Amino acid sequence: MKIAPRSKLVFIGDSITDCERARPVGEGLFGAVGKGYVALVDGHFGAAHPGHAIRVVNMGTSGNTVVDLKARWQTDALDLKPDWLVVMIGVNDVWRQFDLPRQTELHVAPETYGRTLDELVTRTRPLVSQLVLMSPFYIEPNRSDAMRRRMDEYGGLMRQIATRHGVPFVDIQAAFDGVLAHMHANAIAWDRVHPNHIGHAVIARAFLAAVDAL
């Protein structure tokens, strides 16, 4: 496994990461890491790699865009002093353009998304053992769908940033596409954004595969 024993992993993102995690810091007993993919990752580490004693922290916040992440980056990412920082952001950056098209102040343009994410990676990469970028996604198999096309654009921007900085990129959209070849989107996410237990397992497995932990 790529993650060293006794490493501290912080996962940061939006509602897909949040999943009812504890406040102010999502770590500890009684479901503190939430009910989503972060909990599945934590459970897998404990069951499959107990000797590594890996520490998992969930700092997802529902509704966040990359601009929101920037505003809380110091307190919710850097101040926690992670060995590994895992970032999945972009769904709301795209979604607000479609579900709230008239509230343009909530929209995050591709240029802003790419520039802000690049700034965060540039600032953070020297301070952690590893930084991982996990793509935004839309659980829709029709790649001509307007929101799916837009989401793929933002995922492409994230991939470019990961390549530029030499950090791992986990293509969560591709992971869902593999499942969508066999299963309807409604069986994975009621709104094609917030996954059920199957969808969260898809995300968890994609991350675990990327760090050679399966």
Q: Is 135 a catalytic residue?
A: no
Buried b (16+ CB within 10 A) or exposed e, 105-124: ebbbeeeebbebbbebbeeb
Query: Which phi and psi (to 5°) does residue 106 adopt?
Result: -90, -10
| Cβ atoms 208, 49 nearer than 8 A | no
Query: Per the residue annotation, which of 79, 99, 191, 197 is the catalytic one?
Result: 191
Query: Per the residue annotation, which of 76, 152, 194, 200 is the catalytic one?
Result: 194
Query: Per the residue annotation, which of 15, 52, 62, 165 is the catalytic one?
Result: 15
Question: What's the per-residue H, E or C state across 66-88?
Answer: HHHHHHHHHHHCHHHCCCEEEEE
Residues 155, 136: Cα–Cα separation, whole Å: 6
Q: Is 129 a catalytic residue?
A: no
Residues 74, 55: Cα–Cα separation, whole Å: 20
Residues with catalytic function: 15, 191, 194
